Chain A
Amino acid sequence: MAPATETFLRDEKDLSSIWDAYERGDRRALARLLTWAENPQYRPMLYQRLRSRTQQPGSFVLAITGSPGAGKSTLIGKLLPGIRQRGHTVAVLACDPRSPVSGGALLGDRIRMPVMVEDQGVYIRSLAAPPGRQGIAENLDIRLALLERFGFDWIIVETIGVGQADVAIGDLVDCVTLLIPPESGDEIQWEKAGLLEVADLVVVSKGDLPGAGRTAAQLQQTLNLPGFPAKPILVVSAAKGTGLSDLVQQLETSPRRRQQEESQARRLLLLAQEILAQRFRERRELVAQLMEMARQQGWDDWQAASQLARGLMANHAADSP
């Protein structure tokens, strides 16, 4: 490629030339913007440029979730060829946990997703998900928007397997697929885990292992009660390659959540919470002042928190519109 490209990748501050390259379909520029998506300095500008989200018909965004080791990466790796065969391009965002101690991360999901080196219709990116973020990487929303605008037909998000709490993802994607390996709990546990409710589709993974059929039958009993909307339950073995095309077919026809208004509003709520958290980290003085005031005035926690929220949102010149 042109030498100019190299310079833009080196120059950390040059958003507009990276953006231009991204708009021309340069995958390196896409990669760089996905990195910058977590930089508070660039995010308002990125949102501004993404404002015209005019992709038609837009990507199908799929989340694959499930407990650690449930088989998420392996399954995604096995789905990729089938998705490509149907003529779709596909991007994968693979999240692994970030260490709460060091801030570092070991991102190994893509080991299980071999791709043809020359196939430009697949893009895989590893992301670190901070602890306490419900199993999804920070700034996932903007990253999805970047991939969608780039033109991928499918976007698959692998969440970290936090099992019970990974519910926020539902508002960012079109379809949540939950993986449950055989013999991984009983009815009551599934009932308690909020994920079952969020899932649009339940897959019993590792279908080659003994107990897969029984697990599927139990799920069937738990989930598909009279009076509740039916939830598809599939048994898939990534190892044996069984059930894969059924799954892709099911996904292709799945209803798209993101088009729901409610979902869009909750997406903004996530963003609003993020803005608040970011300002909390940035504005230590203000927070200290407020804590002092709370003590002096004898505010209860609810009052103090309301004041805190108000204070954090007030007169912040840097990113008011």
Chain B
Amino acid sequence: MNASSKRIVLAKVGLDGHDRGIKVVARALRDAGFEVIYPGLWLSPEAVVRVVAEEDADWLGISILSGAHLILVPKVLDLLRQQGLSHVRVVVGGTIPEEDVPALLACGVEKVFGPGSPLSDIVGYFRGSQPVPQT
């Protein structure tokens, strides 16, 4: 068993102050046996990537409700690559319109959970996907 495959940073990036959704997800993932690191609100992409590095996270879940996902998410992924952290798997949730999903996937996001995604889907996704070595 690889203990490190269970660490997830759940971060809110950008300037909206709603954290109910992400807290619910955090709790559900904890109950599913994951170590969830929750670094708080209003983080810049730089700050999030720093947390990911310090925590040796395997996953980064980004929640964005401000509509700025097409700017912020690629920024985070660029920083991860620049800092040699491209092994970290990135999932995005929040108010993401369907038509923006392909762009996010194209920049390296593994999965997008749009508005109204059932909690069980999200937990099931983390549970179901075993870490795969990327090349």
Contacts and interface: CB of A to CB of B under 8 A. Distances in A.
Interface string B94-135: 000000000000000000000000000000000000000110
A31 B32 contact: no
Contacts of B54: 27, 31, 123-125
A21 B67 CA distance: 39
Contacts of B29: 104
A39 to B, nearest CB: 6
A36 B26 CA distance: 23
B25 to A, nearest CB: 11
Nearest to A37: B3
Contacts, number: 92
Nearest to A108: B38
B84 A1 contact: yes
Determine the main DSSP class of B at the interface with A.
Answer: mixed
Contact of B39 (A10, A31, A35, A110): A110
A123 B55 CA distance: 10
Given A1-B84, A9-B84, A10-B133, A107 B38 contact: yes
Given A10-B134, A28-B84, A111 B38 contact: yes
A64 B54 CA distance: 20
A106 interface: yes
A104 B34 contact: yes
A104 B31 CA distance: 6
Contact of B30 (A10, A34, A106): A106
Contact of B4 (A1, A2, A35): A35
Contacts of B78: none
A128 interface: yes
A103 B53 CA distance: 23
Interface in B6-50: 6-7, 26-27, 29-40, 44, 46-47, 50
A1 B39 contact: no
Contacts of B44: 117
Contacts of B3: 35, 38-39
Interface of A: 1-3, 5-6, 9-12, 27-28, 31-32, 34-36, 38-39, 98-99, 101-108, 110-111, 117-118, 123-126, 128
6 contacts: A10-B87, A28-B53, A106-B26, A106-B30, A108-B38, A111-B39
